[in-house]
């Protein structure tokens, strides 16, 4: 069974996706008749070197999201997971050449189709007299033994886009004096990349990428590319769903990250990154497409802690989606060894929409936890009661807690009739929290302070909407009791609590919520405001009065 995708058609999904990006970005233009996106200010690049990249669609935001000043000049996109057509690559080269650029550098991920098609377009362009050079990026750190095809091009390619990007005007030959400053790290003065054309993220072994996935992805119109059992994850897979180096058991985020970093930095691994204690790196935490932002944050935290625990300095950290594999639920980690000159290239300004707004400061060494605010000092309370009244408060609270604990199952049963069946459990959790608090020491003698402390306790321990509503009620009820504690003040406290519950809970009397019972009692307590009111007589009546529409009332 094929997976569901929000597309207009399988055949046209790559065209539609690129058109949508360009339509929403005034800095981009489509090249007529081709699946090519270019900078809209192309004519301003006269005398500079153009940087073109691309590959199959399905890896968004790579590569078109990285077009802009300070990054790529243009991108050629193929169909999903398919190399771009030679004709479109050649058309892009011609377009930037006719705009007045002095040469073109093709940045190509190390996949057979990409090497062949970009290489053929390069040869055709050179036959037309257009200066073109090509570098092939291989940054995969998965394989422990050397493969004939070399390391696959993965998310580290994005960092190559960035460090090769700041172009200079021509003075002599385009491939030496006009070449982007960062290119000297890979290409050298002769315009050719050492290591048989592989460079940057792969050939110099200064960076590496490793991915892990919880499940497969699926090309539009097709079934998932592979299957994983519920307790397995794939380590070292490619961005098209290619097999990894092994399958490992599902584990915590900390454990998975530790396994990844161990594999990437193991010196016995031919594709390892020589990161050791004292090294300075750029860390890239990349969402392969289907991972939640919550999980991505957890992975980023684990990676930072694990690297710093190994004595590695994280100079910069990029967290987000940079090179995806459609909807694959997984991540890749990229490590790039950096020095100050390379870091300046990474930090250089760019208008590329997918490049993050990254702080140009080191992650390691900064203070990233701020001290918690101090609690305000409690003002002296003139309403504090004596020791006898304080003991009476304890007895009342203990009786309330014992009653709630005894009613746990009964309240759950009532709640199951129309709710989620946890009313008794929630109130028992509150009762146990109050009992534990009372054992720690004598509660405040002031009624206002007592209600405030109970409010904080329920907000922290009770949980759910009940904890929030009781917390609101008690916080508001405490306010009128700061000045007086006579019967009219207690009636006003009930009014204040009910008003707060209605204001923030958006419930009204008769809505069949917990407010109904409290509201009915509150109406009876209005009698406390009358001179000569009898405390216990009115209180007894308030306890016994039936709530509004009690037959339909439910716990929340």
Residue 482 CB contacts under 8 Å (≥ 6 apart), including other chains: 381, 383, 448
Whole-angstrom distance, CA of residue 556 vs CA of residue 553: 10
Whole-angstrom distance, CA of residue 390 vs CA of residue 501: 27
Q: Which of 108, 109, 189 is CA-nearest to residue 152? A: 109
Sign of the CA dihedral with 163 first, then 168, 174, and 177 last? negative
Q: Retrieve residue 300's tokens.
A: 């980023």
Q: Which of 86, 77, 92, 62 is CA-nearest to residue 13? A: 77
Residue 554 CB contacts under 8 Å (≥ 6 apart), including other chains: 414, 415, 417, 418, 419, 423, 512, 513
Q: Which of the residues are catalytic?
A: 240
Strands (E), 15-142: 28-30, 36-39, 49-57, 74-80, 103-109, 132-137
Residue where the block lists tokens 């990054």: 71
| Beta carbons of 254 and 298 less than 8 angstroms apart | no
| Cβ neighbours of 390 (radius 10 Å) | 16
Residue 435 CB contacts under 8 Å (≥ 6 apart), including other chains: 398, 401
Q: Retrieve residue 144's tokens.
A: 């422990």
| Beta carbons of 96 and 174 less than 8 angstroms apart | no
| Beta carbons of 239 and 325 less than 8 angstroms apart | yes
Whole-angstrom distance, CA of residue 426 vs CA of residue 228: 39
Whole-angstrom distance, CA of residue 478 vs CA of residue 446: 10
* Kind and range of the H or E run holding 233: strand 232-235
Whole-angstrom distance, CA of residue 36 vs CA of residue 31: 5
Residue where the block lists tokens 């172009």: 167
| Beta carbons of 467 and 426 less than 8 angstroms apart | yes
């Amino acid at each position: 069974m094929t997976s569901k995708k929000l597309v207009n058609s399988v055949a046209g999904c790559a065209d539609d996706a690129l058109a949508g990006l360009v339509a929403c970005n005034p800095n981009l233009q489509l090249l007529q008749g081709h699946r090519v996106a270019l900078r809209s200010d192309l004519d301003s690049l006269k005398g500079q070197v153009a940087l073109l990249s691309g590959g199959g669609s399905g890896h968004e935001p790579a590569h078109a999201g990285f077009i802009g000043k300070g990054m790529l000049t243009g991108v050629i996109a193929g169909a999903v997971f398919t190399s771009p057509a030679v004709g479109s690559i050649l058309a892009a080269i011609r377009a930037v050449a006719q705009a007045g650029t002095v040469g073109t550098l093709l940045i190509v991920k190390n996949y057979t189709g990409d090497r062949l098609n970009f290489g053929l377009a390069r040869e055709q362009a050179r036959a037309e007299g257009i200066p073109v050079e090509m570098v092939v990026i291989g940054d995969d750190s998965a394989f422990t033994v050397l493969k004939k095809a070399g390391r696959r091009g993965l998310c580290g390619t994005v960092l190559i886009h960035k460090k090769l990007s700041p172009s200079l005007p021509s003075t002599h030959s385009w491939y030496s004096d006009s070449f982007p400053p960062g290119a000297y790290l890979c290409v050298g003065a002769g315009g050719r990349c050492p290591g048989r054309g592989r460079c940057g993220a792969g050939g110099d072994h200064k960076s590496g990428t490793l991915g892990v996935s919880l499940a497969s992805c699926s090309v539009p119109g097709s079934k998932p590319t592979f299957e994983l059992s519920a307790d397995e994850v794939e380590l070292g897979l490619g961005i098209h769903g290619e097999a990894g180096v092994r399958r490992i058991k599902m584990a915590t985020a900390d454990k998975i990250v530790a396994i990844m970093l161990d594999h990437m930095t193991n010196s016995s691994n031919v594709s390892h990154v020589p990161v050791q204690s004292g090294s300075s790196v750029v860390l890239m935490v990349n969402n392969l497409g289907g991972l939640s932002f919550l999980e991505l944050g957890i992975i980023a935290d684990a990676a930072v802690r694990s690297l710093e625990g190994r004595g590695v300095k994280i100079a910069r950290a990029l967290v987000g989606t940079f090179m995806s594999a459609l909807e694959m639920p997984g991540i890749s980690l990229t490590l790039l060894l950096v020095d100050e000159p390379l870091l300046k290239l990474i930090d250089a300004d760019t208008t590329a929409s997918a490049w993050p707004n990254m702080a140009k400061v080191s992650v390691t060494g900064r203070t990233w936890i701020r001290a918690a605010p101090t609690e305000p000092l409690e003002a002296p309370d003139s309403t504090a009661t004596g020791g006898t009244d304080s003991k009476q408060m304890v007895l009342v609270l203990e009786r309330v807690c014992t009653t709630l604990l005894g009613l746990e199952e009964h309240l759950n049963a009532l709640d199951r009739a129309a709710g989620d069946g946890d009313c008794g459990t929630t109130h028992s959790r509150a009762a146990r929290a109050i009992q534990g608090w009372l054992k720690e020491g004598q509660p405040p003698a002031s009624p206002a302070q007592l209600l405030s402390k109970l409010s904080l306790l329920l907000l922290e321990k009770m949980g759910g909407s009940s904890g929030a509503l009781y917390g609101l009620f008690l916080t508001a009820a405490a306010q009128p009791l700061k000045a007086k504690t006579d019967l009219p003040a207690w009636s006003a406290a009930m009014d204040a609590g009910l008003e707060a519950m209605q204001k923030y809970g958006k419930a009204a009397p008769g809505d069949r919520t917990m407010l109904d019972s409290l509201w009915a009692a509150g109406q009876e307590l209005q009698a406390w405001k009358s001179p000569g009111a009898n405390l216990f007589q009115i209180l007894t009546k308030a306890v016994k009065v039936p709530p509004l529409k009690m037959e339909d009332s439910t716990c929340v």
